[in-house]
Structure 1
């Protein structure tokens, strides 16, 4: 299911066919350092991650992380989506792209489309952004999206504190 299209991007639900891309992205050093090591080491792990992560979230919340691909070639570039954070009772915008697609405006374009979808299609009242203080690129992107630092929080799934932007 496609949730948004921009001039350059198509943003859609993940399917089981996206395991190879998921395996690749989740093992990028930038993903592991800036987000987390999800311990996805093979295609079976990647499928389990998709089924128990984004796909389960679509069923539970009506949204989750989405695949971002190029409009012209259908090449998977990254992920961008909405994650319900139970501990915070909040919805977080999340994003990650393969290094070769960074610094080209794709993350900003995708995130703007996902935020628009969240507010206008899902009728969410608030969308936050979470990142750790060392992730300057994410902080810059959250600022471009109009989010501002609100406070520092501790998530149960992370050993370090993260900055919450709203």
Structure 2
């Protein structure tokens, strides 16, 4: 699957993405929002990159203007009650600070949802962010996600309040 907009290209991760994956994982703010500890070594980044490379639903977000990987998006399938059919995907995403507030994530979210709808006929997407992560919340709302519910994470996951959002494809289609 090839996913592109005027501003970004979404492609699968490759070995030469190690440096930017390390940079993303070392950003304490990004790591916290992805609910993982910051990387302590390049070896941890390599393990994470290997995981990203093996997942067909993980995408490197490449800024066309900068010609550089600026973020990542991961989609986790949620199965329907038959435990076979994919009912929806839960989105996780991150963008390096120097690329924020340029519309790249908004463009990426819309493009991925459109591609998954067109190719896989997915009509429902979910996303979660910490209640304190207003930037991600605004980005989700900007592309049409609505508030679904809030939940408190267990203590072993940090115990923070998380807001869940959902996007259901309606008659109007995606933005």
Q: Using structure 1 for the length normalisation, give the TM-score.
A: 0.82
Q: Does 1:31 align with 2:30?
A: yes
| Cα contact 1:3–1:13 (8 A) shared by 2 | no
Partner of 2:77: 84
Q: Spell out, residue by residue over 1:64-119, the C-alpha distance to the aligned partner (whole angstroms, 9 max, x if none).
A: x2111122552111112423368xx8521222111110011111011111111121
- In the comparison of the two structures, how many residue pairs are matched? 157
Residue correspondence of structure 1 range 1-166 to structure 2 within 5 A: 3-52=2-51, 54-58=52-56, 63=57, 65-84=58-77, 90-153=88-151, 158-159=157-158, 160-166=160-166
| Cα contact 2:28–2:38 (8 A) shared by 1 | no
- 1:38–1:3: structure 2 CA closer, same or farther, 3 Å change rule? farther
Give structure 1 regions of 4+ aligned residues with deviation exceeding 6 angstroms. Answer: none
CA RMSD of aligned residues (A): 2.3
Work out the CA distance in 1 between the residues paired with 2:153 and 2:125: 16
Unaligned stretches of 5+ residues in structure 2: 80-86, 167-175
Cα distance, 1:163 vs. partner? 1.3
Q: Using structure 2 for the length normalisation, give the TM-score.
A: 0.78
- 1:122–1:155: structure 2 CA closer, same or farther, 3 Å change rule? farther
Secondary structure at the residue paired with 1:14? Answer: coil
Work out the CA distance in 1 between the residues paired with 2:53 and 2:103: 26
